[in-house]
Amino acid sequence: MAANSSQDRPKRIAIVGGGISGIGCLWGLKDLDYDIYLYEAEPRLGGHANTVMFQGRGLSVPVDTGFIAMNEQNYRKNSRSASEDEMLIQVCLAEFNRFITSLGVKTIPTDMSFSFSMDRTFEWASTSMSAFVGKASNLLSPWFWRLVFDIARFNLFATGLLVQPIDLVDPLPSPFHDEKDLDGGHYQEQKLESIDEYLGRNSYSNQFKKYYLIPMIAAPWCIDPDEFMSNFPAATLIQFM
């Protein structure tokens, strides 16, 4: 066998992307005997974790444009994770946590709230019941009570979807439709039920979608509202919430 055969050399690992996932992976693998290469398309690391300085009105303020909130409790390995994917994500997050701890970056306790205003016709905030109700006249509005009812219903019952078999709707058009799977049977590539389909199937109101769910999800994640409703899988969203 040649002295420098490929078996003698450490295995090489390529990590594509230097966001928190890539950095977490790199940190977790750094003490193992591998040649690790991190590929990042941008001139800076961090991906969605990005702080820019806002300057104006005589002020200079650091603003996090993406990733802001993390905590030691969620960003650690949890052996009760449901799936391998979840486990992998937790490993990356735990390693990212260890990475920033080793740099001496401290986390600080904070709170998180949300407020929403649509042309001042309807607005709500998450800080208290009275902030949610806003105008006293809302208390006399069936429209408003339907919104409250749907919020309560969603929070109480939506997780039921997670214990049902995965809901599949029409098959995606796919060139693989007629291919055989490994057992010789036919399989079809199918699409998960979107959040819009789930809400429609359960007769959720328009105000619940427009004034609660879309702002709560699409705004912080910078997702196009229409794309969110038609493409975001219901089960993924409900599991996240």
Ligand X SMILES: Cc1cc2nc3c(=O)[nH]c(=O)nc-3n(C[C@H](O)[C@H](O)[C@H](O)COP(=O)(O)OP(=O)(O)OC[C@H]3O[C@@H](n4cnc5c(N)ncnc54)[C@H](O)[C@@H]3O)c2cc1C
Contact set with ligand X (CB under 6 A): 16-22, 39-42, 47-49, 66-70, 220-222
CB of 48 to ligand X, least distance (A): 3
CB of 222 to ligand X, least distance (A): 5
67 or 132, CB closer to ligand X? 67
CB of 26 to ligand X, least distance (A): 11
5 or 110, CB closer to ligand X? 110
How far from 176 is each of 6, 28, 166, 171, 203, CA to CA, in Å?
37, 37, 21, 11, 34
179 or 227, CB closer to ligand X? 227
22 or 215, CB closer to ligand X? 22
CB of 65 to ligand X, least distance (A): 7
17 or 134, CB closer to ligand X? 17
CA–CA gap between residue 179 and residue 116 (Å, rounded): 48
CB of 37 to ligand X, least distance (A): 11
